[in-house]
Amino acid sequence: MRKKYLLAPGPTPVPESALLAMAQPIIHHRTPQFSEVFRETAELLKYVFQTRQDVLILAASGTGAMEGSVTNLFSPGDEVITVNGGKFGERWTKISEAYGLKAHEIKVEWGKAVDTREVTRLLDANPKIKGVMVQASETSTTAAHPVKEIAELTKGRDCLLIVDGITAVGVFDLSMDDCGIDVLVSGSQKAFMLPPGLAFAALSERAWKFQETAKCPRFYFDFKKERKNLKDNTTAYTPAVSLITGLREALKLIKEEGLENVFKRHDRLARATRAATAALGLKALAPESPSNAATGVFVPEGVDGGKLVKYLRDEVGVTMAGGQDHLKGKILRIAHLGYVDTFDIIIAIASIEMAFNKFGHKVRYGKGVGAAQEILSEGYK
C-alpha cells in the first residue's frame, strides 16, 4: 500500500466533511431546499472575499470568471493593461485580444513582481486605458504581485482593477473592499478546498457601471443575468449542485477557523517551506515577492525536474508540480494552500530529501525537515 498526498497548487486536498457533503443524494436545483443552500453559500463567500458585494457563482474553471470579466466590462477596441508575469498573466492578454481589446502588455520576468512604475507610465501615456488586469498570485511562478499598490493607481482614474485571485483569495489578506479592487475572481480547487468546477467573481459598484455600456459578446457568462438570479438565490443556468453543497461546508470550515487564522496558517506553512528548501541549498524562483500559496525552487544541477516530479508522484506518492514553458524540467513547485497543515509540509520536504538522494544529489536526511519544524512549531502552544 502507498498512501497518496496531493501538494500541487490545484487541485488541492478536499476536507472529509466537504467530500461527505458532496456525496449526499443530489437535490433539484430549482427548489426551496437548494435555494437555502445557495443563499448560505453566497453569503459565506462574501466573508472570504471580504466584500459587501455579491459574489457570483459560475459552473466553470477560474478561466471562465476571467473571460467573463473581460466580456462583461469592455467593448471591442477598448484599451487595457495586462500584466504578463507567467502562464496566467499571459492568459489575460489572450482573452483580451480574443475579444478585440487592445492590450498594453507588461512582460515581467518569471519569478518577479510587476514594477508599479511601469503601470503608472502606461496609465499616464495612455489616458484611454479602461482596465488593469493582474494576478494577485501567479501560480506558474509562485510570485505575488503588489495588488494594493496598483489599486492606488487606478482609484483616481476611469479605469478598473481586475484581479485574478485564484491562488490568493483565502490564502493571504486581499480584502476586495479595503484594497479598492473592482473585480476579484477565484476558483474552487485552490484555497476553497474543493474539486475543480466552480468559478467566482465579485464586482464593485464602479465595475457594474462599466457593465452597462460594455459591448463585447456574451451569453453564458452574463454577469448581469447571474446577479439578477443571485437575488432569488439561484443561478441563470444549471448550477453544479454537488459542488455548491460541498462549498458551503468548506466555507463553514474557513469561517470556523477565522480568516485571520487562515492567513496566519498559510504564512507559517509558506515560511517553513522556504526555510526548508533554503536549508537544502535550493534557489528560490521568486525570492523577492514569494506567494504564500506555493513555493517554487530550481532543482539541483544534474537533476531532471520532470523525472523528479514523476518519481515523487508515481513512486513516493507525493504529487507536486513542475515548471511550464521555459521552466519545464527546471523547477519544483510545492503548494501549501487550502486543506494543508503542518505535517503535510513535513511530508513534502521529507519526500524531496528522499528523492534527491535517489537521483544522486546527496543531502543529509532531516536537514530540510528540521528547518521547517523550527517554524512549524509556532503553530502549537
Tens digit of each residue's pLDDT (9 = 90 or more) over 9-36: 999 999 999 999 999 999 999 999 999 9
186 and 276 co-located in one domain: no
212-233 pLDDT tens trace = 999 999 999 999 999 999 999 9
The pLDDT confidence band at residue 40, using thresholds 50, 70 and 90, is: very high
Q: Which residues contact 206 (CB under 8 A, 6 or more apart)?
A: 160, 182
Same domain, 106 and 175: yes
Nearest 10 degrees: CA dihedral of 323, 67, 178, 111? Answer: 20
Q: In the chain, how many domains are there?
A: 2
CATH of residue 184's domain is: 3.40.640.10
C-beta separation of 169 from 193 below 8 A: no
Check whether residue 252 and residue 372 sit in a common domain.
Answer: no
Give the per-residue pLDDT at 381. Answer: 74
Given a contact cutoff of 8 angstroms between Cβ atoms, the answer to whether 299 and 352 are in contact is no
Mean pLDDT throughout 153-170?
97
DSSP 216-236: S--STT-HHHHHHHHTTTS-S
Residues 212 and 295 in one domain: no
Cell numbers found for residue 52: 459587501
- Say what the alpha-carbon torsion angle 111, 294, 307, 367 is, to the nearest 10 degrees: 100
Question: pLDDT tens digits, residue range 181-202?
Answer: 999 999 999 999 999 999 999 9
Q: What does the pLDDT look like over 328-372, one tens digit per residue?
A: 999 999 999 999 999 999 999 999 999 999 999 999 999 999 999
Q: Choose one of 256, 283, 311: the last residue of a domain.
A: 256
CA separation for the pair 273, 271 (Å, rounded): 5
Quote the pLDDT of residue 37: 98
Contacts (Cβ under 8 Å, ≥6 apart) of 260 = none
Whether residues 224 and 326 share a domain: the answer is no
Q: What is the CATH number of the domain that holds 316?
A: 3.90.1150.10
Phi, psi of 276 (to 5 degrees): -65, -45
Write down the mean pLDDT value for the chain.
97
Closest-CA residue to 296 (of 339, 342, 330, 264): 330
The mean per-residue pLDDT over the stretch 239-266 comes to 98
Residues 183 and 287 in one domain: no
Residue type, 169: V
* pLDDT value, residue 1: 83
* Domain end call among 211, 226, 256: 256
Percent of the chain exceeding pLDDT 90 equals: 98
Indicate whether 68 pLDDT > 90.
yes
